[in-house]
Amino acid sequence: MKPLRILKSGTLVAVLAASVFTTGCGGAVSSSSGPGTPPGPLTVSLSTSTVIAPQDGTPGTVDVTVSGANTGSSVSVAASHLPSGVTSQFAPAAGGFSGTLSLVAGSTAPAGTYSASVVVTNGTQTASQSFVLVIAIVVSVGNSVDTTLGIGGKLEQFMSTSFQPSEGNYQFFQNHTATEPALLNKLGPQHIRLQAISQAVPMKANTGSATDWDFTILDAIVQPVLSLADNSPEFQIAVAPAFLNDPVTGHIIFSAANLQAFADYSANLVTYYNKGGFTWGGKNFVSPSYPQHQITWWGIYNEYNINGMTPSEYIQLYNTLVPAMLNVDSTIKISGLELSVADPTMDLPPFVAPPASGGVNAQVNVVATHFYPTCNQRDVDTTLFDRVPQMVQYINYVYQELGTRADLKNVPIWVTENNVNADYDNGNGMSNCIPTQKFVLDPRGTSAFFAAWRPYAFSQLGKAGNQALYHWDYDADAQSGEVDYNTGSTYLSYWVDYWLGQMFPSRPGSPAPDILQLLVTETSSTEILGTKNGDGSVVVMVVDRAVQASTDNNGTGDPRTEIVDVSALGTFSGATSITIDAKTNATSGPPSLNITPAQKISVTLGGYGVTFLKLKP
């Protein structure tokens, strides 16, 4: 028989397991040479069309009913087209040809969904019936905290999002008053990141005239953000005012005078938002939200490592700007580095060197970096998944380097930009990252792929001790957005990030959830995160990140079934299940379904996606 499943190794697998038996009337054994009962049409039927065989060896069973067999001939019942690592055994019922077929998956059996068959042979007659065999991953959730993960066993990672105020998008809140800021407030991001560029940079010149400053474009975004969520955005001073920059490269012209002018500009921003404003050219500039809302968190420059600045120059810039800002408001917090992901061995050692040897000497409250797995829409899905573990190694290295200085060893890492693709149209329809290639939106930023990729990244980075994960960016297109800039409608990505924030809360003043120990039979195609909250509730996140074909680019993913064993946690009074996948309505989001608590809960995802199980004591 021709196998129906090709494993990833490219070899065809067909394991045949048969039980042969002969019976006579009344259950007496007879020879196959006797006349027996004249044969009728041989048929076989199964009690179920799907058999689940967990990878822990728990048998999956199906009742087999054989009809029309010649009692004078032997009858064989065989399971065919089984994947490697699966065995079967048929147990006949007394006095007949029917019985129970058991299928057992060993630890080497690859998870997935396979087409298999039961074949019955009786003399010259053959009958078969196909069924679906599901090799299920088994997840055993322990009742102990895994102190090797997160921050001493705590998942202290919050979800946030970003805006990039500029002349091209500053009217977002004005254009969508029916939905905003309500949707953003519901999302509940912490320390929303504001990265002003181009005409949103409020200082236009340095003539001493009042016209040198204009906050109109910037505050069209900043003021609404200040009034919602945690009322505590992070303002990233991404670039210097244009008059300090090289007109060709857009990078700051590095000189002592320019650094001081940049520091004065930064200090004025702090004064504007936090200290009642500043006077320039006879005009007082003050934030409309002052004193009710101020800005505590400030980031220093954006991706200096790909924007024409050396590590030593950045340290000099940082050591100049931060003291000037703190001189205005000593309570503010500072985020340093804001790196584009590259080789961290180039940037971290100079930064953490002793101050006497040129290292940073100004206040550092957070070290920030960015994570995009690709800048090329042609990279396949597997590549994007494979770069998540590489980012974990990056984070581990950053913590290692911070630990070399006593005053930096407890500084947290925030990933302040994260999405699937960093590329964009460079202005003429071509790719910014690959100028010879036409730019095409990467739909994986808002498709079902994202429902697997972002939870996978969230889990892996949180387990590595990352303490913030920022979406890039909130109001954008189908590649980057959580909400469509033009229509104001939500993308699937909005609901992924919303439920990550809801299920794994990490907020000031409340304890972060504990990360529970897990035993998972296969991790190559799934990601599991189990946490326990202070109220005794448990959340288990199950991610299907199985790639169907190695060439897939925004593919559908491959189905996976996971058996979640929570028996070690005791009993629960209630449970809910929330699934986000290709079937999820991007406008209304996924429904929350009440399920019956059990010691073992089966979760099946038909492709890329995530399921959140919440168990209530």
Q: What is the C-alpha separation between 414 and 398, in angstroms, rounded?
A: 11
Is there a cis peptide before residue 181, judged by omega within 30 degrees of 0? Answer: yes
The per-residue pLDDT for 35 is: 52
Residue 73 confidence class, pLDDT cut points 50, 70, 90: confident
Each residue's pLDDT tens digit, 249-267:
999 999 999 999 999 999 9
Beta pairing, strands 75-82 & 162-163: unpaired
Give me the residue label for tokens 């939905």: 179
The per-residue pLDDT for 38 is: 61
Q: What is the C-alpha separation between 593 and 499, in angstroms, rounded?
A: 14
The per-residue pLDDT for 12 is: 27
The stretch 435-449 carries a mean pLDDT of 97
Task: Copy the structure tokens of residue 459.
Answer: 């889990």
Q: Given its phi and psi angles, is residue 327 left (phi above 0), alpha (psi -120 to 50 degrees) or beta? A: alpha
Q: What is the C-alpha separation between 527 and 544, in angstroms, rounded?
A: 7
Contact 311, 347 (CB under 8 A): yes
Residue 39 confidence class, pLDDT cut points 50, 70, 90: low
DSSP element (H, E) containing 215: none
The per-residue pLDDT for 168 is: 94
Rg (CA), the chain: 30
Compute the mean pLDDT over every residue in the chain, rounded to the nearest whole number: 93
Each residue's pLDDT tens digit, 2-27:
333 323 333 323 333 343 433 222 22
Contact 541, 576 (CB under 8 A): no
The per-residue pLDDT for 2 is: 31
Contact 86, 135 (CB under 8 A): yes
The per-residue pLDDT for 18 is: 40
Phi, psi at 492, each rounded to 5°: -55, -35
Q: Write b or e for each residue in 8-23: b if 16 or more Cβ atoms lie within 10 A of its Cβ, otherwise e.
A: eeeeebbbebebeebb
pLDDT at 327 over 70: yes
Beta pairing, strands 609-616 & 538-544: antiparallel
pLDDT at 33 over 60: no
The per-residue pLDDT for 72 is: 81
pLDDT at 336 over 50: yes
Each residue's pLDDT tens digit, 507-548:
888 889 999 999 999 999 999 999 999 999 999 999 999 999
Pick the closest to residue 364 from 407, 394, 306 (CA basis).
407
3-class SS string, 285-328: ECCCCCCCCCCCEEEECCCHHHCCCCHHHHHHHHHHHHHHHHHH
Angle at 440 between CA 438 and CA 444, to 5 degrees: 150
- Lowest mean pLDDT across 3-7, 213-217, 407-411, 573-577: 3-7
DSSP element (H, E) containing 195: strand 193-195
Q: What is the C-alpha separation between 586 and 447, in angstroms, rounded?
A: 10
Pick the closest to residue 458 from 495, 504, 422 (CA basis).
504
The stretch 601-614 carries a mean pLDDT of 98
Which percentage of the chain shows pLDDT scores above 70?
A: 94
Pick the closest to residue 80 from 38, 134, 119 (CA basis).
119
Each residue's pLDDT tens digit, 128-155:
999 999 999 999 999 999 999 999 999 9
Beta pairing, strands 99-105 & 60-67: antiparallel
Phi, psi at 112, each rounded to 5°: 150, -175
The per-residue pLDDT for 37 is: 59
The stretch 354-359 carries a mean pLDDT of 97
The per-residue pLDDT for 70 is: 87
Residue 209 confidence class, pLDDT cut points 50, 70, 90: very high
Each residue's pLDDT tens digit, 76-93:
999 999 999 999 999 999
Contact 243, 206 (CB under 8 A): yes
pLDDT at 320 over 90: yes
Each residue's pLDDT tens digit, 361-379:
999 999 999 999 999 999 9
Pick the closest to residue 64 from 24, 31, 29, 17 (CA basis).
17
Pick the closest to residue 89 from 120, 99, 97, 135 (CA basis).
99
Please name the residues in contact with 8: beta carbons below 8 A apart, sequence gap of 6 or more: 110, 550
Three-state secondary structure call for residue 160: strand
Structural domains in the chain, CATH included, are 15-137 (2.60.40), 516-616 (2.60.40.1180)
Q: CA-CA-CA-CA torsion for 394, 457, 381, 560, nearest 10 degrees? A: 140
Contact 203, 259 (CB under 8 A): no
Angle at 17 between CA 13 and CA 18, to 5 degrees: 145
Pick the closest to residue 455 from 510, 513, 498, 423 (CA basis).
498
Which percentage of the chain shows pLDDT scores above 90?
A: 89
DSSP 8-state class, residue 354: -
Q: What is the model's pTM?
A: 0.92
